[in-house]
């Protein structure tokens, strides 16, 4: 099954920001495009707005004047649904209400030909439920573009329970022909991106609700240590707190209130207060003119330790050893495998976040997972009230000697980056096991849809087969609500190699 021929008309119903963006994508690809909106005059206004954007593309030399003029000639506002009768594809981008979408597609089914592909751009509703209102749901598919549609390459091609393979394949190939990067996905709450991205927000909010760190510090650690482009608080301010919370609530409800997707009470209060982020002038941060942006907590300067003793294998943090030597800190090795940690001169220990808490041990400081310890500019440390001041000072001085800013947070298991990455990896393995998407498509979706520094499976391979499982298992012991219980898929992944090796 191939992509739609460029001579085939494409219609977009709903002419808001997303509808206009989708129409522009189809138009620039070469299709005749019809615009329809139930509100009088909206389709004409949308056509003018698209024309203005085409002018800007010409000014930026991304489109020639002749290409712009030809595209304008192919763009037609429609006053009635009947004018979409000869379209080969109709994409809907109207209000996110199931009844509204179902009614629209019932009306469209009376207008278009039997072989017309019908698609919804929904981001939160069930594709199966919308298509369930149709006499022929086999031709119905989800085409979830990301905003702004002309710029962002990802398109989730979502097959509902009744979607024909030929329809999904045609939608997939058409999106690819439009210059997009499509990923195939089963109809599951949140699809790929909005399902697997939930922990990025949820764990940041959980650390904040535990009073372990403030938003500015958590954001800085996610960016400067975890390698994420933006922190969770600044990103949700950009998205809109009401929008982000609504998606979280929808996924949670759709999974029958699965505790893994529980919304944040702190974010709920923010939304209730009208602090919706940048668009309202205040969210987690104040965006009023002249408002000062809060600075992350950064520890004062401490003297670095003269030496450390390494016990065991530091695993994902192994790069620290040559870095310490380069910084002039002597690294002594203990032949006995007593764990995976660094012993400081005062006898205290420094260990990579593992899902346990500092208060459980005599004198331990935890440090957070980094995407790349050489490139990271900030490291988070956590300690309990029982941790000696000498041990904490030596740990701070050690990372400062490596050129890092240091943020000391509360004694929360899994810290910030480590627990976030572990949960993302877990949800990704669970999604593959349940037939949502392939490993390759999930990595592609998370890289392109939310700009993660690594896809979940690339991260999983880097960290080692059992890393995420072990961390979540320890977290689950300390929070037995089920939120951190590793999935069966992650359990199988963690132990698969060992079982193969032990089989006679």
- Name which of 262, 404, 266, 385 is nearest 324 in CA terms: 404
CA angle centred on 126, ends 124 and 131, rounded to 5°: 135
Sign of CA dihedral 177, 180, 183, 185: negative
Neighbour-count burial of 227, counting CB atoms closer than 10 A to its CB (0-12 exposed, 13-18 middle, 19+ buried): middle
Buried b (16+ CB within 10 A) or exposed e, 263-284: bbeebeebbeeebbbeeeebbb
**C-alpha distances out from residue 301 to 74, 304, 400, Å:** 64, 9, 7
3-state secondary structure 316-361: HHCCHHHHHHHCCCEEEEECCCCCCEEECCCCCEEEECCCCCHHHC
Which residues, other chains included, contact 281 with Cβ-Cβ below 8 Å and sequence gap of 6+? Answer: 287, 288
Neighbour-count burial of 255, counting CB atoms closer than 10 A to its CB (0-12 exposed, 13-18 middle, 19+ buried): middle
Euclidean distance between CA atoms 360 and 358, whole angstroms: 5
* DSSP at 279: G
Residue 108 — left, alpha, or beta (φ > 0 → left; ψ -120 to 50 → alpha)? alpha
**C-alpha distances out from residue 168 to 90, 118, 143, 163, 174, Å:** 14, 10, 9, 7, 10
* DSSP at 264: P
Active centre residues (catalytic): 123, 144, 156, 194
The answer to whether the beta carbons of residues 395 and 365 sit under 8 Å apart is yes
């Amino acid at each position: 099954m191939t992509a739609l021929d460029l001579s085939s008309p494409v219609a977009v119903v709903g002419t808001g920001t997303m509808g206009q963006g989708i129409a522009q994508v189809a138009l620039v690809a070469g299709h005749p495009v019809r615009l329809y909106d139930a509100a009088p005059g909206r389709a004409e206004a949308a056509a003018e707005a698209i024309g203005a954007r085409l002018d800007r593309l010409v000014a930026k030399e991304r489109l020639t004047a002749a290409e712009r003029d030809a595209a304008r000639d192919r763009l037609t506002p429609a006053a009635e649904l009947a004018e979409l009768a000869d379209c080969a594809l109709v994409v809907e981008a109207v209000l996110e209400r199931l009844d509204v979408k179902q009614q629209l597609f019932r009306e469209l089914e009376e207008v278009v030909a039997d072989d017309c592909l019908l698609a919804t751009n929904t981001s939160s509703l069930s594709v199966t439920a919308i298509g369930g209102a149709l006499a022929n749901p086999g031709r119905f598919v989800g085409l979830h573009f990301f905003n702004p549609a002309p710029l962002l390459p990802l398109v989730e091609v979502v097959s509902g329970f009744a979607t024909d393979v030929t329809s999904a394949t045609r939608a997939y190939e058409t999106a690819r022909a439009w210059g997009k990067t499509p990923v195939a996905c089963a109809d599951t709450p949140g699809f790929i991106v909005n399902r697997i991205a939930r922990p990025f927000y949820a764990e940041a909010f959980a650390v904040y609700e535990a009073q372990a760190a403030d938003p500015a510090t958590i954001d800085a650690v996610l960016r400067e240590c975890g390698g994420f482009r933006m922190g969770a608080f600044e990103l949700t301010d950009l998205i809109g707190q009401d929008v982000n919370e609504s998606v979280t609530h929808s996924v949670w409800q759709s999974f029958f209130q699965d505790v893994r997707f529980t919304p944040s009470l702190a974010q709920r209060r923010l939304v209730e207060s009208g602090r919706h982020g940048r668009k309202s002038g205040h969210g987690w941060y104040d965006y009023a003119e002249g408002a000062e942006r809060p600075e992350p907590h950064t520890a004062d300067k401490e003297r670095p330790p003269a030496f450390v003793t390494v016990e065991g294998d530091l695993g994902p943090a192994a790069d620290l050893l040559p870095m310490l030597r380069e910084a002039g800190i002597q690294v002594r090795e203990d032949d006995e495998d007593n764990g995976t940690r660094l012993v400081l001169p005062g006898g205290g220990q420094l260990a990579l976040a593992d899902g346990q808490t500092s208060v459980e041990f005599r004198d331990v400081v935890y440090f957070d997972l980094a995407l790349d310890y050489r490139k990271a500019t900030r490291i988070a440390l956590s300690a309990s009230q029982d941790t000696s001041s000498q041990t904490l000072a030596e740990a701070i001085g050690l990372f400062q000697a490596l050129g890092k800013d240091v943020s000391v947070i509360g004694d929360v298991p899994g810290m910030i980056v480590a627990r976030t990455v572990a949960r993302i990896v877990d949800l990704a393995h669970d999604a593959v096991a349940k037939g949502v998407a392939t490993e390759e498509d999930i990595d592609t979706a998370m890289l392109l849809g939310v700009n993660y520094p690594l896809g979940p499976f690339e991260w999983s391979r880097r960290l080692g087969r059992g890393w995420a499982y072990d961390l979540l298992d320890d977290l689950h012991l300390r929070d037995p609500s089920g939120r951190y219980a590793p999935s069966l898929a992650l359990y199988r992944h963690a132990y698969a190699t060992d079982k193969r090796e032990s089989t006679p």
